[in-house]
Amino acid sequence: MSRLHERHLAVSPDWLALYYRNPLELTHGRGRHVWDADGNRYLDFFGGILTTMTAHALPEVTQAVTEQAGRIIHSSTLYLNRPMVELAERIAVLSGIPEARVFFTTSGTEANDTALLLATAYRRSNQILAMRNSYHGRSFSTVSITGNQAWSPTSLSPLQTLYVHGGVRGRGPYAELSDERFIEACVADLEDLLGHSRRPAALIAEPVQGVGGFTSPPDGLFAAFREVLDRHGVLWISDEVQTGWGRTGDHFWGWQAHAENGPPDILTFAKGIGNGMSVGGVVARAEVMNCLDANSISTFGGSPVTMAASLANLAYLLEHDLQGNARRVGGLLIERLRSVAARFPAVREVRGRGLMIGVELVRPGTEEADPGAATAVLEAAREGGLLIGKGGGHSTSVLRIAPPLTLTVAEAEEGAAILADALHAAG
């Protein structure tokens, strides 16, 4: 055990998890690579949990941070903030929400917490609909709407949460149905739930479940849900903390795969927009955003430095069509991984969209999740020079692969080859 690891254990909570038997200290990065304190170089296929969205040490972002820090680092929302207004203007247009208002936070957890505040105040209800297997953050309110029980340590929240089926396509009672019949069954489940509940404030849902193992419903599910929600006066919150900014390739936002009835009432974002800076936020139509009848501010949300970084990052993403790159290179990577998986009985499924890919592991010949295998592959991949993540609903048996959106074809091929070796070594 390293001295730094010993010091970490002495001052950190027991529940603050670290990857690897011998945890890594990452000291610097460039492009799609990072280096540890011993000088080892790794291809980064996890981006600090989908947060280094474009590239490590992207010059445009580091220059924007340096220049803004040289002018003023902090002011709070009590003062006009040009970078914050400029970024809000861009996000309002990109969101697709009419008459959009934008509020910035410091994290996805805080963004979802704010969305819950808005929805419950607007609808005068403390009842929330959430998806089974979901994850929405680590605050007192967001753990109470998290359907993945491995990440929900308390049920003592003042919110009453009811869980809807549909976030996991390949497991559960509807798994064997066609996509059309799956959607019909999930809509019937929602209708039945609403018929036995008080008036919920909102449904919150990730278009692709992140911590849950990159699972997603068939396209159109949330459009079908929206018809039901509108009849019952229930808002739709799309949690785009992991799916936003073009990562899924086919769409800029995850909700756009379900766009028949237009955008959500509330959209939350975080992670990738700051490329590592602490940025989150909420977008809602003015009627919903302005429903609060008390004053509020944010001390750190909308910080001039994080806003400058996000503006530079967003400009780079759009100017270089990184959504298109996620679609092209992500499609190639998924096909390579499916080819690799065909050689390993322990791989149940390779799924995903764009550069958001899950590899689910089971005990060969069964449907039983195998978290031990996932941990072994994670370790072996690290030994081979590749960093990946893990997650999953019933257990952490899914390898999570989400590289920066500038990933090249050569790097995708390299990463797939290392993962093949890791699966072999762990088998």
The C-alpha angle with vertex 134 and arms to 284 and 164, in degrees rounded to 5, equals 85
Average of per-residue pLDDT values in the chain: 96
What's the whole-number mean pLDDT along residues 369-389? Answer: 97
DSSP structural state of residue 346: T
* The dihedral sign for the CA sequence 69, 72, 75, 79: negative
* 260 pLDDT higher than 80: no
Q: How many CB atoms lie under 10 A from the CB of residue 2?
A: 13
Which 3 state secondary structure label does DSSP give 281? strand
Q: Where are the alpha helices (DSSP H) in 274-407?
A: 286-289, 304-319, 322-341, 371-383
Instruction: Give the up-direction half-sphere exposure of residue 180: CA atoms within 13 A in the CB hemisphere.
Output: 0
How far from chain centre, in Å, is Cα 392? Answer: 13
Q: How far is residue 109's CA from residue 210's CA, in Å, rounded to a whole number? A: 13
- Of 108-112, 126-130, 259-263, 300-304, the one with minimum mean pLDDT is 259-263
DSSP structural state of residue 211: T
Which is more confident, 392 or 181?
181
Q: How far is residue 314's CA from residue 53's CA, in Å, rounded to a whole number? A: 10
Please tell me the predicted confidence (pLDDT) of residue 63: 98
* 394 pLDDT higher than 70: no
Which 3 state secondary structure label does DSSP give 217? coil
What's the whole-number mean pLDDT along residues 112-137? Answer: 96
Q: Distances from the Cα of 387 to the Cαs of 214, 299, 347, in angstroms?
A: 17, 34, 19
Element (H, E) at 162: strand 160-164
Instruction: Give the up-direction half-sphere exposure of residue 34: CA atoms within 13 A in the CB hemisphere.
Output: 21
The domains found in the chain, sorted by start residue, are 3-57+321-426 (3.90.1150.10), 62-319 (3.40.640.10)
Which one-letter amino acid corresponds to residue 401? I
Q: Distances from the Cα of 124 to the Cαs of 1, 120, 121, in angstroms?
A: 52, 5, 5
Please tell me the predicted confidence (pLDDT) of residue 149: 82
Instruction: Quick: pLDDT tens for 98-124.
Output: 999 999 999 999 999 999 999 999 999
How far from chain centre, in Å, is Cα 160? Answer: 24
* 213 pLDDT higher than 80: yes
What's the whole-number mean pLDDT along residues 85-96? Answer: 98
Instruction: Quick: pLDDT tens for 149-203.
Output: 888 888 788 899 999 999 999 999 999 999 999 999 999 999 999 998 889 999 9
Beta bridge partners of 30: 33
Instruction: Quick: pLDDT tens for 300-355.
Output: 999 999 999 999 999 999 999 999 999 999 999 999 999 999 999 999 999 999 99
What's the whole-number mean pLDDT along residues 250-261? Answer: 92
Q: How far is residue 312's CA from residue 314's CA, in Å, rounded to a whole number? A: 6
Q: How far is residue 80's CA from residue 82's CA, in Å, rounded to a whole number? A: 6
Of the pLDDT bands very low, low, confident and very high (cuts 50, 70, 90), residue 263 is very high
Q: How far is residue 127's CA from residue 289's CA, in Å, rounded to a whole number? A: 19
Six-digit token string for 382: 């690290």
* 133 pLDDT higher than 70: yes
- Whether the predicted model's global pTM rises above the 0.85 cut: yes
Closest to 259 measured CA to CA, from 207, 327, 314, 214: 207
Phi, psi of 208 (to 5 degrees): -125, 125
Which is more confident, 331 or 295?
331
What burial letters (b/e) apply to 258-288, b meaning 16+ CB within 10 Å?
A: bbeeebbbbbbbbbbbbbbbbbbbbbbbeeb
Q: Distances from the Cα of 158 to the Cαs of 125, 154, 194, 236, 347, in angstroms?
A: 11, 11, 20, 20, 40
Q: How far is residue 175's CA from residue 153's CA, in Å, rounded to a whole number? A: 28
Q: How far is residue 337's CA from residue 188's CA, in Å, rounded to a whole number? A: 35
Q: How many CB atoms lie under 10 A from the CB of residue 411?
A: 20
Please tell me the predicted confidence (pLDDT) of residue 83: 98
